Structure 1
Amino acid sequence: MGVYWAIGVRSFRRFSTYRIATASGAFTNTVFGFILCGIYLTLWHERPGLGGYDVSDALTFVWLQQGLLMPIGIFGATTTVELGERVRSGEIAVDLYRPTHLLLWWLSVDLGRAMFQLVVRGGAPLLVGALVFDLKFPSNPITWLAVAVGLVLGILVSFTIRYLVALSGFWITDTRGMEQLALVLSCFFSGTILPLVVFPGWIGEFARATPWAATLQVPIDIWLGRSPDGIGSALLFQLGWLLVLMLAGQLTTSLATRKVVIQGG
């Protein structure tokens, strides 16, 4: 495991060099936070208690969402984009020669990226929001621990989805269509556009059952204390999707490796 730890640390250091881009991104998230707060205040004024959220819940959701977009990789992430490019260019053959597991290698890279974004970029919008609005924070250490576990699981679930999309390049000529489809699904079903709790009927039930819900909506609900079936069920939901997607990633990696070998790669 030492090699994967070293990969993660070096990935953290790598992203820490992009200071101006990080500051610009945090500023952009903060601006969008204020814009969304205006929209949400209007919406919750017309529909108080929408989705079981009060106004404070809705505003807290906005600032948590803006802080977590980059760490979780809702819009994609540099690491998985790089992996997709290596598949398209054939440079992935070099990765397969390494005495490491392809999935664990890129998972370590992505975790280093996510931890930097979480520590440096994730907290800035939330801090600004807390200074302006009356936001909700967990009230006991158990909830804080559950939030931390939920965030890690959310990042891992997001990575496995993006990993599968990147590896689709072994079977299709151009993965850009898959990447755009994944982006749309991620934005809609994660809670990026609106909290999934406001989706009515079967649409809401379906949205909350998808793996994308485990990336953003579930960790925020744990923070707010709004998990419908309790914190334990919320974490088990995330863990279940993570196991399914990790197994799918492992199977896809094995099939992709076999394909490269058969083709003489």
Structure 2
Amino acid sequence: MGVYWAIAVRSFRRFSTYRIATVSGIFTNSVFGFILCGVYLTLWHERPGLGGYDVSDALTFVWLQQGLLMPVGIFGASTTSELGERVRSGAIAVDLYRPTQLLLWWLSVDLGRATFQLLARGGAPLLVGALVFDLKFPSSVALWPLVVLGLLLGIMVSFAIRYLVALSGFWITDSRGMEQLALVLSLFFAGTILPLVAFPGWLGVIARATPWAATMQVPIDIWLGRNPGGTGAALLFQFGWLLVLLLAGQLATTLATRKVVIQGG
């Protein structure tokens, strides 16, 4: 495991060099946070208690959402887009020669990236929002480890989805179309447009059952203490999707490796 830890640390250091981009991102997230707060305040004024959220829940959701966009990789992440490019260019063959597991290698890279962005960009928008609005925080110290676990599982589920999208390039030649489709699905089903609890009827049921819900909506609900069935059920939901996606990722890696060997002669 030492090699994967070293990869994660190097990835953390790599992303920590982009200081201007980090500050710019914090500013952008804060601006969009205020815009969304205006929209949500209007919506919750017209529909009090929408989805079981009160106004404070809705505003807290906005600022947590803005802080998690980059760590979770809702708009994609450079680590997995880099993997997709390596598949397109054929450079992935070099990765497959390494005496490491491809999935674990890129998971380590992504966790290093996400850790930096969570520390540097995750808390800043929330702090900005807390200075202006009455936001909610976990009610006891005992809940913080569960919040951290929920965030970790959300990041890993997001990576597993993006990893599968990147590997699709082995079969469809260019994964960029799949990347755009995955972006649209993540924007809708992760809770980026609206909290999934606000989706009506069958649409809400479907949205909350998808793996994208495990990336952002569920961790935020753990923070708010609003998970149907309790925090344990929410973590089990995340872990279940993570296990399924990682197994699918490992299977795709095995099939892709055979494909490279066959094509390489």
Structure-2 residue corresponding to 1:189: 189
Bigger mean CA offset, 140-149 vs 126-135: 140-149
Deviations 1:2-37 (CA, angstroms, capped at 9, x unpaired): 000000000000000000001001100000000000
Of all paired residues, the percent bearing the same amino acid is: 85
Alpha-carbon shift at residue 139 of structure 1 (Å): 1.2
Write the letter of the residue equivalent to 1:48: P
Show the counterpart of 2:146.
146
Cα distance in 2 for partners of 1:199, 1:186 equals 15
Per the alignment, residue 264 of structure 2 pairs with 264
Q: Give the letter aligned to residue 111 of structure 1.
A: L
Which ranges of structure 1 fall in alignment gaps of 5 or more residues? none
Matches within 5 A, 1:13-52: 13-52=13-52
**Matching of residues 171-250 of structure 1 within 5 Å:** 171-250=171-250
Distance in 2 (CA, whole Å) between partners of 1:157 and 1:7 is 19
- The separation in 2 between residues aligned to 1:159 and 1:176, in whole angstroms, is 16
**CA deviation string 1:82-128 (max 9, x = no partner):** 00000000000000000000000000000000000000011110000
In the superposition, the TM-score normalised over structure 1's length comes to 0.99
The CA RMSD measured in Å over matched residues stands at: 0.6
Distance in 2 between residues matched to 1:176 and 1:104, nearest whole Å: 22
The corresponding residue for 2:161 is 161
Cα deviations across residues 183-242 of structure 1 (Å, max 9, x unaligned)? 000000000010000001010000000000000000000000000110000000000000
* 2:132 equivalent to 1:132: yes
Unmatched tracts of structure 2, length 5 or more: none
2:120 is matched with: 120
Q: Give the SS at the match of 2:227.
A: coil
Distance 1:226 1:254 in 2: 39
Count the aligned residue pairs: 265
Q: 1:175: how far off?
A: 1.2
TM-score (norm 2): 0.99
